[in-house]
Amino acid sequence: MAVLVLRVIPDPVLRQTAASVALADIPKLKSLVVDMVQTMDANQGVGLAAPQVGRGLRLIVASTVQGPLALFNPVLSRRSLRTELGEEGCLSIPGVYGRVRRSVRVAVSGVAPDGQPMRFTAKGFFARVLQHEVDHLNGVLFIDRTKKITTGRERLEAMLGGTTAGDSASQPSG
């Protein structure tokens, strides 16, 4: 197994909607799951989506207290109305951090690497991680959701070729 190369902005794969994974294809992706977990751990991440390693598939991995979780075709079916503003960074946007408002609780469903359906509720930081990773599957980055870049604005502008991350990134947080 291997640590994979992380894709960083402005790599186009990070802005594409990832394709659903057919149930029959899940067993063929076992080594990708292992490689993604190793890549996440080697980079001190808490979550990773397949597009971040150049694969346009609906697959995420995340750290949990029980060990790594892998989920194919994840869906966030319910989000709490209660939200929380929190600092986020991203392995695909190194050195940049911003404040993002996320739901504090989400209902999650998807398929485990063994092909079995999974359903659970995530809350707190784990809910934040899952929302961040599912955003990646839809071509959305945390810089699209931030109200304020708190660290690395100049670095972000350099990565984007001298442009800012959008109007919302330059507004003060509310």
What positions carry a catalytic annotation? Answer: 133
Residue type, 160: L
Distance, CA of 71 to CA of 91 (rounded, Å): 19
Residue 84, SS3 per DSSP: strand
Q: Which residue, among 74, 57, 73, has the nearest Cα to 108 in the 3D structure?
A: 74
Helices H / strands E in the chain, number of each = 4, 8
Residues 128, 82 contacting (CB under 8 angstroms): no
Backbone angles phi, psi at 148, to 5 degrees: -155, 125
Distance, CA of 42 to CA of 36 (rounded, Å): 10
Sign of the CA dihedral 156, 34, 29, 73? negative
